[in-house]
Amino acid sequence: MAKKRRAHGGIHATKRRGQCVLRWTYQGRERTLSVGPWGDSSSLLAQRIAARIATDIAVGDYDDTLMAYKVMSPVYRVHGDAKSDGDGDGLLTMLNAYLEANRGRWKENTIEKNRLLIRLIEDSLNGSDMRVEQLSYSILFSLLGQRTRQIRDCMALIARVIGLTHPLSLEIKEGMKSLAKPKWVVDPKPNAFSPDEKRWLLNAIESEWTEGKLLQMAKFVRLMLLTGCRPSEALGLFPSDFVVEGGEMRFIHFQRNVSYRGGKPIFNQGSKNNKTRKFPIDPSGQLAQLAKQLKSQESQSFCFGFNYHNFRQREWKRIVSPIKKGATPYALRDTFITEQVIKGVSPSIIALWCDTSPTVIQKHYLDPNRALSVLPHE
The rounded distance, in Å, linking the Cα atoms of 226 and 160 is: 40
266 and 324 together in one domain? yes
Residue whose C-alpha is closest to residue 34's, from 90, 83, 101:
101
Dihedral sign for Cα 123, 128, 131, 136, please. Answer: negative
pLDDT tens for each residue of 145-194: 767 878 888 999 998 888 878 888 889 988 888 877 766 566 667 788 99
- Helices 167-175 + 148-162 axis angle, to 10: 160
Task: Share the mean pLDDT of the chain.
Answer: 83
- Is residue 186 a part of any domain in this protein? no
Report residue 153: phi and psi, to 5°.
Answer: -65, -40
Whole-number pLDDT of residue 315? 95
66 and 111 together in one domain? no
CATH, residue 287: 1.10.443
320 and 209 together in one domain? yes
Whole-number pLDDT of residue 86? 40
45 and 117 together in one domain? no
- Among 20, 40, 70, where does a domain finish? 70
175 and 65 together in one domain? no
217 and 312 together in one domain? yes
Whole-number pLDDT of residue 200? 95
208 and 330 together in one domain? yes
Q: In the chain, what percentage of residues exceed pLDDT 90? A: 35
208 and 323 together in one domain? yes
- Is residue 61 a part of any domain in this protein? yes
272 and 305 together in one domain? yes
CB-based burial, 2-34: b 16+ in 10 Å, e otherwise: eeeeebbeebbbbbbeebbbbbbeeeeeebebb
pTM of the model: 0.66
**Contacts of residue 309, Cβ cutoff 8 Å, sequence gap at least 6:** 260, 263
Please calculate the CA angle 73-75-79 and round it to the nearest 5 degrees: 90
- Is residue 230 a part of any domain in this protein? yes
Q: From residue 185, give the alpha-carbon distance in Å to each of 180, 293, 327, 341.
A: 10, 38, 15, 24
**Contacts of residue 82, Cβ cutoff 8 Å, sequence gap at least 6:** 71, 163
212 and 320 together in one domain? yes
Give the domain range for residue 45: 4-70
Longest alpha-carbon distance in the chain: 73
Q: Which helix (H) or strand (E) holds 310?
A: helix 308-311
Residues of the chain below pLDDT 50: 1, 78-88
161 and 211 together in one domain? no
- Among 180, 215, 235, where does a domain finish? 180
- Is residue 364 a part of any domain in this protein? no
Q: From residue 353, give the alpha-carbon distance in Å to each of 84, 191, 333, 349, 356.
A: 46, 20, 11, 6, 8
140 and 213 together in one domain? no
- Is residue 366 a part of any domain in this protein? no
Whole-number pLDDT of residue 52? 84
Total domains in the fold of the chain = 3
- Is residue 95 a part of any domain in this protein? yes
